Amino acid sequence: MFSQEKYLKALNFAAKVHGEQKTPKGLPYITHLTSVAMEMMHACEQGEVKLEDADFAIQVALLHDVLEDTNATISELIEEFGDEIASGVEALTKDPTIESKKQQMAENINRLLTQSYAVQCVKLADRITNLQKPPESWDNEKIYNYFQESKFILSCLKNANPFLSKRLEDKINIYRTYIK
């Protein structure tokens, strides 16, 4: 079903460029990337992602943060993985020149809506993975804003994949309990 070679190529590239980066909980960042890829694999197994899109979606999942969080360039992605994967990763990357987080997210969603459902699914899988217990350093306002942003993502991308949309909806309902 999946190409181990493509998976390992994307995983190794992501591990190299993310280097010593950590998650907010102090884990190696690669744990986040593999969790997002796992969500995509699960959606593929449920038959909710077309088989021909599976390798593409999993590679994009593993690479989804390399432009946003590392020194990797779009040119490197094109050279290593081709235009389609580079375009998908670029669409998942927030524009740092936009100051407002709300405007950043709106612009990001608008770009994602021009992409295939497979790329939109990666955004859903990423948010599913991120909706864990919030870091201790987050105040109630930040938790509430993240909750609202998650609902916005779901409302805009829910048609991309029924399975991932339901997973995200369930995670949002659990996350609601962290708002005081």
Just list the catalytic residues: 68-69
Q: Residue 16: CB partners within 8 Å, gap ≥ 6? A: none
Please choose, from the candidates 60, 69, 127, 109, the residue with its C-alpha nearest in 3D space to the C-alpha of residue 87.
Answer: 60
Strand pairing partners for 22?
28
Distance of CA 128 to the CA centre of its chain: 9
Name the CA dihedral angle for 25, 148, 91, 159, rounded to a multiple of 10 degrees.
Answer: 120
- Helix 74-81 × helix 51-63 angle, to 10°: 140
Strand pairing partners for 28?
22
Query: Cα–Cα distance between 98 and 95 in angstroms, integer?
Result: 6
Please state, as a whole number, how many other Cβ atoms lie within 10 Å of the Cβ of residue 46.
Answer: 13
Tokens of 3: 């190409």
